[in-house]
Amino acid sequence: MIELEWSQAIEPHVTGAETTSASIPAETRRAWIHRAPDEQVVGLYLAASAVDPDVPAPWWLRALADGRLKSRAEGFSLEDRVSKLLDARPGWVFVPWAAEGDCGYWEYMPSERRISGPAIPTTLVLTDRHAGWLDVYVVHAGEAPDPVEVHGVADLRANLARFESMG
């Protein structure tokens, strides 16, 4: 039953069109996990992940449950700062349909032109893999390369032109 409860907790409670038309992460925050008290969300996540360690969950919730993030609001703030930075630059597009329970990611569309044939553009994702919370995957065809760790928004801002030119 915990799997069903978790599935309902991450369900966005909107129509598919509303979910896929989101242009910033804040527009994807429509599930129970986004508005219930942090303690309840973490408690349910811990119960669900005890049954299934690979339960779908946003990066900020995994970090919050591990004690590496102080609050869900801190995670939302990072998402919003990244969104504001990338929205101000041409070529970056927010993709709201990430993995179930996640907030989405950004693609740098001009990077696709660097590879002939079908390519995955340079992609920026939020992650709980490290304390910088951001990973960049350079444009590629075929198997994804190892991610480039970005150490926060200041590091992203300082290296954005380099990330845009990688390929």
Q: What is residue 111's predicted lDDT score, i.e. its pLDDT? A: 81
Token digits of residue 60 = 């900020």
Mean pLDDT of 141-166: 95
Measured distance CA(150)–CA(107) in Å, rounded: 15
How would residue 1 be classed by pLDDT, with cut points 50, 70 and 90?
A: confident
Residue 167 has pLDDT above 70, yes or no: no
Candidates 139, 37, 39, 44; CA nearest to 101 is 44
pLDDT in tens, 101-151: 788 999 999 887 767 778 899 999 999 999 999 999 999 988 999 999 999
* Nearest-10 crossing angle of helices 38-51, 2-10: 130
Q: What is residue 20's predicted lDDT score, i.e. its pLDDT? A: 57
pLDDT in tens, 17-57: 554 578 999 999 999 999 999 999 999 999 999 999 999 99
Cα-Cα-Cα-Cα torsion 10, 15, 21, 24, nearest 10 degrees, comes to -30
Q: What is residue 121's predicted lDDT score, i.e. its pLDDT? A: 94
DSSP state of 99: S
β strands within the chain, DSSP E: 92-95, 105-108, 122-126, 133-137, 148-151
Residue 16 has pLDDT above 90, yes or no: no
Which one is predicted more confidently, 99 or 149?
149
H-assigned helices in 102-165: 153-165
